[in-house]
A and B are shown apart, each in its own frame.
Chain A
Amino acid sequence: MKIYADNAATTKMSKTAVNAMIPYFDEVYGNPSSLHTSGQKAAEALYNARESISIILNCHPREITFTSGGSEADNQAIVSAAKIGERKGKKHIISTAFEHHAVLHTLQKLENQGFEVELLDVGEFGLVTAEQIKNAIREDTCLVTVMYANNEIGSVQPIAEIGAVCHEKGVLFHTDAVQAAGHLAIDVQAQNIDMLSLSAHKFHGPKGIGVLYARKGIVLSNIIEGGAQERGKRAGTENIPAIMGMAAALEEANEHINENTAKLIKLRDRLIEGFSEISHSILNGDREKRLPSNVHFCFEGIEGESLLLLLDAKGICASSGSACTSGSLDPSHVLLSIGRVHEIAHGSLRLSLDENTTENEVEYIIQSVREVVEYLRKMSPLWHDKISGRKNFILK
């Protein structure tokens, strides 16, 4: 059996998205900036894609900037807000301890440039509250950036409430919605979101393309300089095939969002139930406020790397959190931020499903994880120390 359960890392492209791209490789291949008919056709496609995405997010097409993906969108949003703040003498930024590195590393860079970055605690369930944001906002706060849903433990933040607090205080609000777009209903107006990042390959679209939504009136600072594409805010000839694939994928995902959610929650909850029967284990992230596709557990006495290898041998593609480029796994800053100690953080497993996951697959995953955890514990000297009482258990 081959089961792909790592959809938070990336997804399989949908047939709809693939088909939407194909004409733009060798039929409509003009440059949208060109004057001639071929270019015009490409420009029209680009406009349609922009419009379709704007309808889904409930914003104006001009508020959509196409980027190379979520990371670039995060970088540009944060740097832009910081520049705007700096001009007004506001250099305080509020975020959370468990953001994606695209956000955290950009904030670190700003810190080196003299900005003050305050990372809020996310508590043991990985949630930040609007109250916390409200209390943290100061006169000189220029930006609040809080992820929509966490990429590792799947906890979903109270975005609308945070947005309301920010607006009340007149502070820009950005959200990294890479894990949420296409999976949760987003409405930037209703939720008071000023800036939002998303990435196509997390909702069955192509890799290397994303969106930065920025409310009208927010002046974006360029990360890439060059031509006047994207209203001069993001140079480089537009990746039309990828943009078309993204628009098609987002439309498709959005159309089925309710049925997919209902289906996924059932599968997710069955997995959580199955894993909870394994002794000395714990669910990470909030039980209710979590992505429908996300299951994240820590198992005491095992190493995540071994767990993943053995699951891979059983045909299950999973992850232990976020993997870095070499494929080696560091104890995740997300797990540390919710208070897991290093030893426990090392034994983590993330499964992220999609709407094609079946009940049979879920049962097979539960069975396999039980077997592998038992096998690894049997082979672990640390586990024997715990069983015999020489060392204490950390988890119940």
Chain B
Amino acid sequence: MKKALIAMSGGVDSSVAAYLMKQSEYDCIGVTMKLFHNEDIGIEYKKTCCSLNDVEDAKSVAFRLGMSHYTFNFTNHFAEKVIQPFISAYESGRTPNPCIDCNRYLKFDALYHRAEILECEKIATGHYARIVNGNGRFILKKAVDLSKDQSYVLYAMTQEQLAHTVFPCGELEKSEIRKIAEKQGFFNADKPDSQDICFVPDGNYSAFIEQYSGKKYPVGNFIDRNGTVLGQHKGIIHYTIGQRKGLGISARNPLYVCGIDILDNAVILGESRELLSCDLNAVDFNWIAFDTPPEKFRAKAKIRYHHEEQWAEINVIGEKNVHIRFDEPQRAITKGQAVVLYDGEIVLGGGIIN
């Protein structure tokens, strides 16, 4: 029997993914990744050494399905590959998406390697996306349930990873997933979807960065495009492009964060229209649909998780660099976020906005 490793977070999606894999022809092993210690991220230290209830939830589902379950300690990997880069990005005025790094370096690298060691042919996760084998290339597509589609955070997957990955939830609507969970009696059937960054559960990422790094970020000036000082900011890590709330500046028209100047420790504010632009450069590009992409083509591009992709002209500059010019100006193109290119429901590739 072919073996599959199921990445189980303790949530409803990966639980149903485990169930669906178990129904198919695979001998399944459930695995939960321990990514951080609660006390490291500022949650009160509890007497148990692994106080993540999610591990218990995942285990109970695995046992219910008659699968063995292991917890893998990836706290070192996670700190090195996800949390540290997350902090460095904010320190250099960018806005990172840690879920992309987690998929890239944890689920589809460290965990993938464990699957190899255990001679598992496939690794399955609860992601909403689809993988199809089309003419010798593995193609990543959006999920059937577009409102849940997570293809954006998976753009960095390689052909080898795609060949050995299954996304059972990608073929179903979220409502169907919940129905399966209820029918199977998974106690987590109505557990809410996770929303925030898992290691910043309260959403207060600047407090997290200060606590984790032990640094204080110096206050500095809010300035406008001409360099006029408008007020004082609390430290650049508190700001992200397009932000309006929490600036504490009164002006005739509402002001937004339009840029972060790390050299001068300044945050540049401007009116809404100043956030609009058509052009971006992306680096570290990964192509999924092409071995070698055409030099120039048209596609739709998505610049953040909740952005609806827009038509653009794509210019491939080097092996990993791409210039993108949107037909219409886009609001708050943000350094550090990913840009992902689509042809309909197919993911062509993606990279990091520079």
Contact = CB atoms under 8 A, between A and B. Distances in A.
Contacts of B32: 326
A309 interface: yes
Interface in B70-84: 70-73, 75-76
Most chain B CB atoms below 10 A, which of A326, A327, A376: A326
B55 A306 contact: no
A328 B71 contact: yes
B50 A379 contact: no
B48 A327 contact: no
B114 A306 contact: yes
Interface in B100-116: 113-114, 116
Nearest to B58: A326
A328 B76 contact: no
B118 interface: yes
B72 A328 contact: yes
A305 B73 CA distance: 8
Given A310-B117, A379-B117, A325 B73 contact: no
A342 B49 CA distance: 18
Nearest to B109: A381
A82 to B, nearest CB: 18
Contacts of B70: 305, 309, 327
Contacts of A379: 113, 116-117
A330 B75 contact: yes
Interface string B66-100: 00001111011000000000000000000000000
Given A105-B47, A324-B48, A330 B116 contact: no
B52 interface: yes
Most chain B CB atoms below 10 A, which of A327, A330, A379: A327
B72 A330 contact: no
Nearest to A326: B50
A325 B59 CA distance: 12
A324 B32 CA distance: 14
A330 B50 CA distance: 10
- Interface size classification for chain A: 10 to 19
B112 to A, nearest CB: 12
Most chain A CB atoms below 10 A, which of B71, B75, B76: B71
B55 A326 contact: yes
Contact of B50 (A105, A309, A325): A325
Interface string A105-129: 1000000000000000000000000
A329 interface: yes
Contact of A309 (B47, B56, B113, B118): B118
B118 A326 contact: no
B72 A305 contact: yes
Contact of A330 (B55, B59, B73, B113): B73
B117 A330 contact: no
B117 A326 contact: no
B172 to A, nearest CB: 29
Interface in A286-330: 305-306, 309-310, 324-330
B34 interface: yes
Given A105-B47, A305-B73, A342-B76, A326 B114 contact: no
Most chain A CB atoms below 10 A, which of B50, B75, B117, B118: B117
Interface in A370-385: 375-376, 379
A331 B77 CA distance: 13
Nearest to A381: B113
Contact of A326 (B47, B52, B76, B113): B52
A345 to B, nearest CB: 11
B34 A326 contact: yes
Nearest to A327: B71
Given A305-B72, A305-B73, A342-B76, A330 B49 contact: yes
Given A305-B73, A326-B56, A330-B75, 10 more contacts: A101-B49, A325-B48, A326-B32, A326-B52, A328-B55, A329-B73, A331-B76, A376-B117, A379-B116, A379-B117
10 contacts: A105-B47, A305-B72, A305-B73, A306-B114, A310-B117, A324-B48, A326-B59, A330-B49, A376-B117, A379-B117
Nearest 8 CB-CB pairings of A with B: A324-B49, A326-B50, A328-B71, A328-B73, A326-B55, A328-B34, A326-B71, A327-B71
